[in-house]
Each structure stands twice: as structure tokens, then as C-alpha cells.
Amino acid sequence: MSSYVSTASIRVRYAETDQMGVAYHANYLAWFEVGRTEWLRGQGWTYKEMESHGSRLPVIEAHCEYKQSARYDDEVEIRTTGTLLSLVRVKFEYELVRTADAGVVATGYTAHAVTDRGGKPHKLPERVRVLFQ
Amino acid sequence: MSSYVSTASIRVRYAETDQMGVAYHANYLAWFEVGRTEWLRGQGWTYKEMESHGSRLPVIEAHCEYKQSARYDDEVEIRTTGTLLSLVRVKFEYELVRTADAGVVATGYTAHAVTDRGGKPHKLPERVRVLFQ
Amino acid sequence: MSSYVSTASIRVRYAETDQMGVAYHANYLAWFEVGRTEWLRGQGWTYKEMESHGSRLPVIEAHCEYKQSARYDDEVEIRTTGTLLSLVRVKFEYELVRTADAGVVATGYTAHAVTDRGGKPHKLPERVRVLFQ
Amino acid sequence: MSSYVSTASIRVRYAETDQMGVAYHANYLAWFEVGRTEWLRGQGWTYKEMESHGSRLPVIEAHCEYKQSARYDDEVEIRTTGTLLSLVRVKFEYELVRTADAGVVATGYTAHAVTDRGGKPHKLPERVRVLFQ
């Protein structure tokens, strides 16, 4: 596992709330995506470039534990770490923290296959692989 | 304008509500998309096939007037009509009606360019064009 | 665990796809929500009524394993079962199956607290509790 | 119309793309919401406070013209202006501009009723009204 921890932040949109008055739980997975995008960018690489070079990281498993509700207009910090599971599998772990009071909103992870444009398994490019070490 | 009016229906998901306790307004545009998808299917064609044959209908204008709130678990009927504006422009009009009481929830329209895979303007294929007449 | 298995179905919306050409993974959690809504309805109860009586089922944990991609316009069947974990915890398990070829798209579960309107822990009402047995 | 123009920015999420490879058009309405939220905040007020004081601004009309596609990872600037239409109606206008090349991605507007918690028409509080002048 890389020791690099990225931090990104989002502000909860009205669009993301539900009638319980809190952020709808599926949105947390989209915030995780913001987290891993910034993890790559923070290390000098972007997922966009990676795609343009023919590699993709489809999600094969997602998990989230909801601790405290994120609410409309809350600023939430996304702390992300990355781990190489194998040459064709990576994992990102996330901690979502409310900026105002440092309350942990949620923790979770996503596991990803590495594939080519056509969805076939594919070794993670060396340039990206080193970021996980 | 074709005289064909398609009807499709959706049930409002909790995911689609917001903290005002009603369906968030941006979702109506996704419901419009369900409407035009079923308009095509109802006439023996699908947008999926159309894409696989190389034509696309990107939205160039969208408009919605919100009349009454759609709420969680409401069944909403989407009535759709289609008009050919030119060889490279089509328009769909929508009426959203709550099934339970026939209340009009919203009306709106979307205008679309016709393009090829690369986004270049492109004549609407004859097979699709006739559906609008 | 109740032996009742509900089936609901959704059709993948264009809105739900991403640029990988498949349904974006976070949407599966919204489909799970459709599954548990129909599980309750199929047993003569609705989540809407339950909320209006003052009980809520916020998600405290969500998990999904993605097996095969769901694609635009695919019809996906959602098979749902429910389990009572305690007087204040329930769990739903889901299997998403592509209707066309019976391919398993994903499996997953969500765990829920039972709370009152204010978010305080609360016993599951008897009328709902019996559905899980 | 107030001469105040707020600027906010968003980065297009993978979650917001569709299989055409661009941001799905309904998301622009959620970005408009980010724009008006920041318009209020930039003038020393927040929509969150406004709601907590009992006023709401439900959308009664939304319009968007799509000029150029916003794509994954693009940074988009949202320029927002506000107009008082009457004591119970306000309008926001938006221009979405790609940061990288200043290309106009879209323009649009939303019109809003002013209501109380129960959805009844309601005069815009003086403290908010002055922001529009």
C-alpha cells in the first residue's frame, strides 16, 4: 500500500439530499470516485489520461459504512489511499470527514479490475503501478 | 408532427427525492429521456439500435415547467410526442401526469441535433425519419 | 429470514450510463432501493406508509459485487429478500439479473437502522416486523 | 436585476458522464443549483439558513441551451445572476464556461416560487430580497 493519502473535498448539493433530509447514500459512491480521481491527480497522473492510453478501472466491488449523516451544504473531506492487490486489481479506501467538526461521515472501499478499452483484463501500466508502491 | 403519443410510466424513487420532500427537478429531464426512449420503441425502433447504427440525438435544448410536485412512490405517466424540425433536428414534447389523480405534474420539451458517432451533424436515417411523420 | 423473495424490474436509463458504456456503479444502490420498496409493497405494506407512521430505515451499510455490466436499455430484474437482524436492525439482500439472458449482473446487501422521524433508534413496528419472519 | 455575478466551479465527475462520452444533460440543472447556492453565499446568505428560517425556492421552470459538451474531468465555471420577478418569484440566469479554453458550455435559467415550509406562497424575506436589487 502506498503511504500517500489524498484529500479532496465536496460540498453536499441539494440534488444529493433525499426526503429524510440527508445526503442519499448512493451519492457516497460518487464521492469515492472524486476521491480516487484526486488521489491519481495528486500523484501527477489523471484517470482521464489513463483512459486515453487505453486502461480502465471498472469497479468490481463497493462497500460503504455510514456513520453520521452528511447534510445539505456540508463540506465533506474525502481521504483516499490506494493499494495494489495484484497486477490486475487495485483497491481504494476512503474516509469521509465533515470539515466543520471533523466528524467521520463514512468509511468504505472500492475494488477495481484493470481492463483495456474492450473490457478485457489488462496489466496496470507501469507508470500507474508505481504510484501504489 | 407525428400524431403518435406514447405513454410510459415511472415510479418516483427515494433516490430522486430531495429534502423539500418532493422529486428533485433535474430528475424530470431523465424521465423525459424515458419518454422518448419509449416513443421510439412504441414505433418499432429503439434508440439503442439507432446508436449502434451510428446516429445519436444529443440534447441541444431542454425546458420544463413544474406544475405540481411529484412525490416519493408516485406513479407518473410520461406522454410523449415527436416532431421533425429539419433533417438534422428533432423535438420531443412531454406531459407528466400523476396516475393516481391525473394531475399534471409538468410539461416540457427537448430539442436534439442528429449526429454521427463523432458528434458531426448527420441526416436522420430514413427509417427513423418516417416515424416523425 | 423471511422466505419471501420479491421481484421488481428496472430498465437501464441513458442517464444511468457512463462513458465506459455501462451503467455507472452507484446506480445499483438506487436499484437496490427499488428492490426493497417492492419487497415491502409485495407483502402489503409500503415504505411510504411506514414513513408516514414515523418509522424510517436509513442505510447504515451498503455492499455490492459487480459481476457483469448492465448496459443501456437492458431490463434488469431485482430479486430481494429481507432479514430481521434485531429489533432495531434489518438487512436486505439483492440479486440483479439481466432479463434477456438471466446473467447475474450483481449481488449485494444493505443494512438499515430503524429510527423515528428525528433519527433516534426505534423498534420496528410489529406490523412490519412480522413481514421479516 | 442585481449586478452581482457569482462564480463557482465544478469538475465533471465520471458519475455525470453518459455513454456518449459527455456530461449527461440533466446534470447541468444540478450545476445551476450549485451556481445559485454560491450566488447567495457570495452575498453573505445561504440557502440552508433561508430554509431553516422557513422559506423555500422551489423551481417552477428550468431551461438550458447546450452549446458545447462538457466532458469528464473538465472544470466548468458557473456564472450566476439573480433577478427579482415579484415579491413571490425570483429568477436565476446561468452561464457555464469551460475553464481551460473559456468555451461556453451552456446557458440557461431557472424560475422559482417563494414558499413557506408547507409549500404555500410566501413573500421573499426582506433580508434576501435586498440581495436581488
pLDDT in tens, B103-116: 999 999 999 999 99
Annotated active-site residue B116? The verdict is: no
Taking an 8 Å cut-off on Cβ atoms, the answer to whether D33 and A46 are in contact is: no
pLDDT at D38 over 90: yes
CA–chain centroid gap for C49, Å, is 17
A36 backbone φψ class: left, alpha, beta (φ>0; ψ -120 to 50): alpha
Helix (H) or strand (E) holding B50: helix B47-52
pLDDT band at D1 (very low <50, low <70, confident <90, very high): low
Percent of chain D whose pLDDT exceeds 70: 99
Confidence of residue C59 (pLDDT cuts 50, 70, 90): very high
Q: Are A76 and A96 in contact (CB under 8 A)?
A: yes
- Look over chain C and give the mean of its residue pLDDT values, rounded to a whole number: 96
- The complex scores an ipTM of 0.96
The per-residue pLDDT of chain A, averaged, comes to 96
Q: What is the pLDDT of residues A18-76, one digit of tens each?
A: 999 999 999 999 999 999 999 999 999 999 999 999 999 999 999 999 999 999 999 99
Closest approach of chain D CAs to the CA of C1, in angstroms?
35
Helix (H) or strand (E) holding A29: helix A27-42
Average pLDDT score over chain B: 96
Query: Between chains, do B14 and C46 touch, taking CB under 8 Å as contact?
Result: no
**Maximal CA-CA distance, chain C:** 46
List, in order, residues 6 or more apart from A13 with CB less than 8 Å away.
Answer: A72, D30, D33, D34, D37
Question: Is the predicted pLDDT of residue A2 greater than 90, yes or no?
Answer: no
- b (16+ CB within 10 A) / e for A61-84: bbbbbbbebbbbbbebbbbbbbeb
Helices and strands (DSSP H and E) totals, chain A: 3, 5
Closest Cβ–Cβ partner in A30, A46, A73 for D15: A30
For the cut 70, the answer to whether the pLDDT of residue A1 exceeds it is no
pLDDT of residue C114: 97
Amino acid identity, position C71: R
The β-bridge relationship of strands B6-11 and D75-86 is unpaired
How would residue C133 be classed by pLDDT, with cut points 50, 70 and 90? confident
Q: Among D14, D95, D68, which residue's Cα sits nearest to residue B60?
A: D68
- Indicate the DSSP class of residue D133: -
CA-based nearest residue to C43, from C91, C5, C90 = C5
pLDDT band at A121 (very low <50, low <70, confident <90, very high): very high
Nearest to B133 by CA among B99, B69, B87: B87
Residue D50 at interface with chain B, using a CB cutoff of 8 Å: no
Residue A57: closest C-alpha in chain D: D14
When scoring B18, B19, B25 by the number of chain D Cβ atoms within 10 A, the one with the most, hence best to mutate, is B25
In 3D, which of A2, A3, A8 has the Cα closest to residue A34? A8
pLDDT band at D133 (very low <50, low <70, confident <90, very high): confident
Give the other-Cβ count within 10 Å of D21's Cβ.
Answer: 15
Q: Bigger pLDDT: B133 or A88?
A: A88
Which DSSP string do the residues of chain C spell out, in sequence order?
-----EEEEEE--GGGB-TTSSB-TTHHHHHHHHHHHHHHHHTT--HHHHHHTT-B--EEEEEEEE-S---TT-EEEEEEEEEEEETTEEEEEEEEEETTT--EEEEEEEEEE-B-TTS-B-PPPHHHHGGG-
In the predicted structure, residue B1 carries a pLDDT above the cut 80 = no
User: If we measure between CA atoms, which residue out of A6, B15, A77 comes closest to residue C62?
Assistant: B15
Percent pLDDT > 90 in chain A is 95
- Out of D15, D21, D22, name the one closest to residue C26 (CB): D15
Summarize pLDDT for C7-26 with one digit per residue, the tens: 999 999 999 999 999 999 99
Q: What is the pLDDT of residue D44?
A: 93
Q: For cell 444529443, what's the residue?
A: B58
The per-residue pLDDT for B18 is: 98
Question: pLDDT tens across D61-89, in order?
Answer: 999 999 999 999 999 999 999 999 999 99
How far separated are the first and last CA of chain D, in Å rounded? 6
> According to the model, what pLDDT value does residue C1 have?
63
Determine which of D14, D18, D72 to mutate to test the interface with C (most C C-beta atoms within 10 Å): D18
**Residue D17 confidence (pLDDT):** 98
For D14, which residue in chain A has the nearest alpha carbon? A33
**Residues in A touching B72 (Cβ below 8 Å):** 19
D83-124 pLDDT, tens digit per residue, is 999 999 999 999 999 999 999 999 999 999 999 998 999 999
Going by the DSSP 8-state scheme, the letter that residue B74 receives in this structure is -
pTM over 0.90: yes
Contact B31, B39 (CB under 8 A): no
The Cα–Cα gap between B34 and B5 comes to: 14
- Residue whose C-alpha cell reads 466551479 in the numeric block: D9
- B25-68 per-position pLDDT tens digit: 999 999 999 999 999 999 999 999 999 999 999 999 999 999 99
Give the residue from chain B lying closest to D119, CA to CA. Answer: B20
- Predicted confidence at residue B22, as pLDDT, reads 97
Output the pLDDT for position A63.
Answer: 99
- Asked if C48 and B72 come within 8 Å (Cβ–Cβ), the reply is yes
As a whole number, mean pLDDT of residues B82-110 equals: 97
B contact test, residue of A24, A25, A72, A74 with most B CBs within 10 A: A24
